[in-house]
Amino acid sequence: MPKAKEPKCSYCGRDASQVEALVPSPDQKSYICTDCVNAIHDMIVSYHGEAASGKNKSAALKGKTLKEIPKPAAIKAFLDQYVIGQDEAKKYLSVAVYNHYKRLMQPDDDDVDIEKSNIILVGPTGTGKTLLAKTIARLLDVPFTIVDATVLTQAGYVGEDIESLLTRLLQAADYDVERAQRGIVFIDEIDKIARKGDNPSITRDVSGEGVQQGLLKLLEGSIVNVPPQGGRKHPEQRMIPVDTKNILFICGGAFDGIEQKVAHRLNTHVVGYSTDGKRRRIEAKDFMRYVAPQDLKSFGLIPEIIGRLPILTHLEPLDRDALRRVLTEPKNAITRQYEKLFAMDGIILKFDDDALDLIVDKAIEYKLGARGLRSIVESIMVDAMYELPSADVKEFTVTRDYAYQKIEAAHFEEATLE
């Protein structure tokens, strides 16, 4: 009696002993092995990635017309509800986002190729750079992600690869490559990857200049192979090709100490006197207004990356009036957050105006911007949040005396004197 034929893969010819498993066809006459299934899957993923990058950009917004896209004034008005001040930065952001929409709707056969305008925001800590990014993400109809530059390292070193920025964007787009390729990425703490030394050849700066060099291809626009789950790239890992040509990049950083670079360029000093009356009128707090690309180069950004971030704008340090408004006016104001927390326990929380003025004065004294407000309010409220939920209290008012007592108990004063 003839021996039954051992089933083999109809694609590669290997038998069952050489592969993990063989999957039969419905009629049981042909088979395919799991290795061939994986290979076919990779080919389909690659095909979809290439097809998405070649699709007409005008179809990216799924039939929306320009009239349905929020205008720059509407975008700024939305930002005004959550972020106090910073009108210039809001205008730059609003225009950039609106132009990003228009660029996506441009037909492929147009003979004028509109280049994307990546942005860099420069401003002291606590002025609202990250808050602007988070707020604008609520309004957008494109995928948006915020990533931190401090975790990035040059390829081959411990840390995250530069391509992980796009992994976050893919996740925000539910792994829809076409949607991800028209998204917006906010890179926070961009100043932390500044070059550590003036001479680029002294040492290998894997978390500074090395990251900047790796970002060049992303900012300019190229097809990048992205690991779908993030992490290190492996030869056997499936990659998703993503075209960054239409991805808008917004970078933000505090650039602590760049005022000295600006002052040096203006041939003046942050402190001291000058015989030039015009230069003497430039106060130290206004130096950020005059920040220029050459100051970023002096700080440690390489010229190539500065050229790929053509729009440079600054955020002003928050003055006393702005900090006072931050406490109470925005939809997500700090005092409103605590009022909501107490309301969930059935307690009505109120802040006296004198107490709010004290909080603002201390925030200016500690020079921490809006983040300082949160730290101070937290130190004032921690005892009340600990005690009142267990007590039979229906209303609680924070007075100036109470606030000052809690600030003193938190040793803020001693920390300031050191």
pLDDT in tens, 38-61: 888 777 776 655 444 444 444 445
Over residues 189-214, the mean pLDDT reads: 71
The upper half-sphere exposure of residue 262, i.e. CA atoms within 13 Å in the direction of its Cβ, equals: 21
Tokens 């401090």 found at = 150
283-315 pLDDT, tens digit each: 666 788 889 999 999 888 999 999 999 999 999
> 121: pLDDT confidence band, cut at 50, 70 and 90?
very high
Over residues 88-116, the mean pLDDT reads: 86
Do the Cβ atoms of 379 and 355 come closer than 8 Å? no
Q: CA 173, 177, 178: angle at the middle one, nearest 5?
A: 95
Q: Is 350 a residue whose pLDDT tops 50?
A: yes
Mean pLDDT taken over the chain:
81
116 vs 387 pLDDT, higher one? 387
Helix (H, G, I), strand (E, B) or coil at 40: helix
Query: Which residues of the chain are in CATH 1.10.8.60 domains?
Result: 320-417
Query: Which residues of the chain are in CATH 3.40.50.300 domains?
Result: 59-255+291-314
The reported pLDDT for the residue numbered 57 is 44
- Report the C-alpha gap between 391 and 39 in whole angstroms: 65
CATH 2.30.40.10 fits 320-417, yes or no: no
DSSP 185: E
188 vs 125 pLDDT, higher one? 188
Q: Is 389 a residue whose pLDDT tops 50?
A: yes
> 12: pLDDT confidence band, cut at 50, 70 and 90?
confident
CATH 2.30.110.10 fits 59-255+291-314, yes or no: no
Q: Is 199 a residue whose pLDDT tops 70?
A: no
Q: Which of 1-5, 169-173, 230-234, 405-409 has the lowest mean pLDDT?
A: 1-5
Over residues 203-225, the mean pLDDT reads: 79
The reported pLDDT for the residue numbered 385 is 94
- pTM summary value: 0.72
Over residues 264-271, the mean pLDDT reads: 66
Q: In 3D, which of 338, 115, 363 has the Cα closest to residue 247?
A: 115
Do the Cβ atoms of 226 and 170 come closer than 8 Å? yes
